Amino acid sequence: MDLTATLSGLPGAEPFPGLPDAWHWSPNPRFHFVAALAADGKHAFQVTTNGPYDAELVAALLVHARAHTDQVLADPRPLIALPGFAAPGYTFDTAAVAAPRAHTFHARDNAELHALTYGVFPGWHYEFSGTETDEEALSQVSHPHGLRATSLDRAPSPFLKMRFDNPRTKAGSVGPDRGLTKPDVLMRELALLEGAPGAFVEFENYRHQVWRVDWADGFVVTGEGERLEPDSEELLRFAQAALT
């Protein structure tokens, strides 16, 4: 595939100012798409935004991704975190790259282009574990309940896996494995442990550190060589800190 001809020929595509071999198209004021050739000229990096658009931030993301082309193409993982990213006015510290199987860009309209395109979006290092499965990566990148990867004004969403059971509330996870979830779910279930004998919450952060919280006439936290007996406020502060 001639990527230059393909990308420049997309409806409404125009050269992206300040970045060679890059094109921008926008079907409406809310959606913006910018794609740039990778350093090898045989693949493309694409930023897709839904909501506020910042051309300087997008350019910085694509420059950072392009500079790491060899690393990205040699990495078999579906979701790759590239540290060392920074952009004025933002606290992002990572440029994340989604392999074709972890995004849906061009999947419906041009399967060949989709297979050559890597999605790029800004994030924070504690949002990525480095061991996401294909299914988990696709969920994080392309589903609304994931990282909201197309939103440049999003808040951080720390990587979190969790399993829990609460006999009092009759709520719990399914199966023996921890599943991806959001910090607000963790905080809610931790609070609901109080006064619930036999209830527990087990959670894992981006470093793959795992803690278990039980109720036994008080909160008991175990894991990573620790045993703590915090009060409710200390427990929530501990959990929040553990995620970052």
In tens, the pLDDT along 2-50 reads 999 999 999 999 999 999 999 999 999 999 999 999 999 999 999 999 9
**Which of 233, 4, 15 is closest to 116 using CA atoms?**
4
Cα separation, 243 vs 206, in Å, equals 7
Question: Which tokens hold the place of 202?
Answer: 């087990």
Question: By 3-state DSSP, what share of the chain in percent is helix, strand and coil, each rounded to 5?
Answer: 25, 30, 45
Q: In this predicted structure, what is the pLDDT of residue 65?
A: 98
Indicate the length of the chain as a whole number: 244
Backbone angles phi, psi at 151, to 5 degrees: -105, 115
What pTM, to 2 d.p., does this model score?
0.94
Q: Looking at the DSSP assignment, which residues form a beta bridge with residue 48?
A: 33
Query: Hey, what amino acid is at 54?
Result: D
Enumerate residue ranges in the chain where pLDDT < 70: none
The pairing of beta strand 161-166 with beta strand 200-204: antiparallel
Q: In this predicted structure, what is the pLDDT of residue 13?
A: 98
Q: In this predicted structure, what is the pLDDT of residue 144?
A: 84
